A and B are shown apart, each in its own frame.
Chain A
Amino acid sequence: MSEQSTEQILADSEYKYGFVTDVEADTIPMGLNEDIIRMLSGKKGEPEWMLEWRLKAYRWWLKMKEPRWANLDFPPIDFQAIRYYSAPKQRSETEIDPELQKTFERLGIPLHERNRLEGVAVDAVFDSVSVATTHKEMLKEKGVIFCSFSEAIREHPDLVKKYMGTVVPYTDNYYAALNAAVFSDGSFCYIPKGVRCPIELSTYFRINAMETGQFERTLIVAEDDSYVSYLEGCTAPLRDRNQLHAAVVELIAMENAQIKYATVQNWYAGDKDGKGGIYNFVTKRGHCKGRNSKISWTQVEAGSAITWKYPGCVLEGDNSVGEFYSVALTNNKMQADTGTKMIHIGNNTRSTIVSKGISAGESNNTYRSLLQILPDAKNCRNHTQCDSMLIGSLCKANTFPNIEAENGSAVLEHEATTSRISEEQLFYLKCRGIKEEDAVSLVVNGFCKEVLKQLPLEFAVEAIKLLEMKLDKSVG
């Protein structure tokens, strides 16, 4: 009876970001071919080199086959039935459309200078374009570049040319190639040598238009001795058709530089019968290029019909550090196949992996990882903690850790647990006056604690609220 009602609570949780904004959109026809890519590039007023790169990626993509190795079940995607560009029509160059302002305010992201978030610079991406970026002037004084990817192509072509595709080349995988061909916007951050970015940088991704895919690209470059903390959040309306979101994120950290990248992903997950929802197929990778550099990924994956991503680190610089902290929550018919890749190339490189999978309803939650120690990489270390929690009896949790250690000096530790929220745990908490919903969220928050504490405070609060919302029928 107790488990039944826990499942009920999960099934009943509502998605409060499911509204649609009524804006006039500037779109291109549905479908994908070279003309569409030229049209898209033309809409954005891109230089010739950018178009050439897109076309090369597209031609490569045509030769590739859609991968099917993941532990996921979904029908073939019709790439001709997707619209690759949809931008809200802006009434003026300087003013943000009031409807869009309202939308982002409803999402908790005020864009207006008057009441914008303090301590966080936001790049707001609506469907295919960035509609506003806050705190730009203040960052400029410090030499920090934070702008939309489109603007970076126009204003900082040398930087984009130098780094784009160096961590995730378009040949990397099927969806990375597709993204390279059709990406429409995203964020670009550049932190100059010796600068500690004074505020958090963040991008908020919103999918609004129907039958449109969102393909954004984010590139963060941290020069020697610099530091930046970056956050990303995502939501989309409730729709009964699946929508594709295929993003690429590249991070590059030079000597002594540190990049912290956090994601709270709450794309629409489909209804309780698995109808609709976002396919979140994302390639995220960081390159610890310089000595003593450090890249940390923290992700809270609580939405999307399907989540398929492995944020990883290529640890090239000696003594560099890669970290991956993840909470992946699936319920109803959601599917997730997520984890990380840590590639140790430099000496004394260290990596930490903490993964917490929570499965409820009839969902399927898979952890998959690759830990690779190259033959010349001496004295590398890894610690992996991989825990799964099951709620109810119809869900699945799987783990596929792959370890390839080719240097004998490596010290690798792997710990894994699987637990169930037990009737005994709930009874114990209820005997202390705590309601079932609160008891479940207390247990879940405790389970995720190691990951949540990696997030900046305000973001951690948001993430806890999100997990609670996913577990609480009364919120909506």
Chain B
Amino acid sequence: MSAKIPDFEIRNLCASVEGKPILQGVSLKINKGENHALMGPNGSGKSTLANVIMGHPAYEVTGGEILYHGQNIVEMEPEERARLGLFLAFQYPVAIPGVTVAKFLKTAVDAVRGVKNVKPAEFMKELRENSEYLEVDKAFLNRFMNDGFSGGEKKRMEILQMLMLKPGIAIMDETDSGLDIDALKIVSKGVNRLVGPAFGLLVIMHYERILNYIKPDHLHILMQGRVVLSGGPELVKELEQKGYDWVREKFGEEVLAV
């Protein structure tokens, strides 16, 4: 009996930065329709994992594979990964002065959809709809990309991009850090709009409170560059029953920052 090829799989991934090993054999499987959470202490390699998945040039993959629909993407450029359907919501989104949000999004949507020119009218309609849904003010679209944005505005911008690009697999790198409850609600509202059979999610969390808004069905704990505990709905359920203190007791105080 052959198992179905997972939509997204990381196999025994090892990566280093400036010769220093960070990831030391990470394995994970994510299918579309699933909602995964990854937690781990500071320095365990959470953000490194997110960057390596997208192909950040500062990280060197020293072993293992990253498979998208069974295809190894380790050698691909970041833009090729994005076009396959991978998306990373950045922990620290970068400012692009002089480039409006609308222009940026149009360029990205054209690039990812591989259409020379998505019709401007169609694009604008979609953009307006998604902006309204995320309660993004219209004036915002004419501001320069992340230039002078507050932390909350930047995160909301990441989610707006995610809604426009409609990825197959999205990774959210500590999108919850630095957000107040209202902003967190908007972020989760955005994520929940995409949740469905065509969308798989990996949430790298900083605070456990995001779990109140984004309900994961899978959970992974990363420590010292390895996934030390992984489980499906049963593990999530167990956690809910025993509380997150149980994780802390089992893996040490640092697993969850409060």
Contact of B56 among A427, A445, A448 (CB under 8 A): A427
75-102 of chain B: CB within 8 A of chain A: 77-79, 81-83, 87-88, 90, 93-94, 96-99
A433 and B82 alpha carbons, distance in the complex (Å): 5
- Set of chain B residues within 8 Å of A438, measured between Cβ atoms: 107, 111
Any A CB within 8 A of the CB of B57: yes
Whether B165 is near chain A, meaning CB under 8 Å from some CB there, is: yes
CA distance A434 to B88 in the complex (A): 14
Distance of A442 Cα from B94 Cα, bound (Å):
14
Q: Are B88 and A431 in contact (CB under 8 A)?
A: yes
Residues of chain B contacted by A424 (CB below 8 angstroms): 94
CB distance from A440 to the nearest CB of B (A): 12
Determine whether the beta carbon of B98 is less than 8 Å from that of A427: no
Contact with B along A442-455 (1 / 0, CB 8 A): 11011111100000
Nearest-Cβ distance from residue A472 to partner chain B, whole angstroms = 15
In Å, the complex CA distance between A430 and B82 comes to 8
Judged by a CB distance under 8 angstroms, whether A142 is at the interface is: no
Task: Assess whether A435 is in contact with B79, with CB atoms less than 8 Å apart.
Answer: yes
In the complex, residue of chain B having the shortest beta-carbon distance to the beta carbon of A452: B98
**Considering only CB atoms, which chain B residue lies closest to A425 in the complex?**
B94
Closest residue on chain A to residue B105 by CB atoms: A432
* Interface presence of B112 (CB below 8 A): yes
Our pick among A431, A434, A446 for the contact of B144 (Cβ within 8 Å) is: A446
State the interface size on chain B (CB cutoff 8 A): 28
- A446 to B98 Cα, complex, angstroms: 4
Any chain A CB within 8 A of the CB of B198?
Answer: no
Instruction: Determine if B108 is an interface residue (Cβ-Cβ < 8 Å).
Output: yes
**B159 in contact (CB, < 8 A):** no
Q: How far is the CA of A428 from the CA of B78 in the complex (A)?
A: 9
8 Å CB interface, A81-118 against B: none
Q: Is the CB of B98 within 8 A of A445?
A: yes
A457 contacts B by Cβ under 8 Å: no
List residues of B (57-80) whose CB comes within 8 Å of A's CBs: 57-58, 77-79
Contact A432 B96 (CB under 8 A): no
Closest B residue, CB atoms, query A435: B79
Min CB–CB distance B47 → chain A (angstroms): 13
Contacts of A450 in B (CB 8 A): 98
Q: Which residue of chain A is the closest to B95 with respect to CB atoms?
A: A425
Give 13 CB contacts A-B under 8 Å: A423-B58, A424-B94, A425-B94, A432-B111, A432-B112, A432-B165, A433-B79, A433-B83, A433-B111, A433-B165, A434-B107, A438-B107, A450-B98
List 11 other contacts, CB 8 Å, given A428-B90, A442-B104: A427-B54, A428-B96, A431-B54, A431-B81, A432-B82, A433-B82, A433-B165, A434-B79, A435-B111, A446-B96, A446-B98
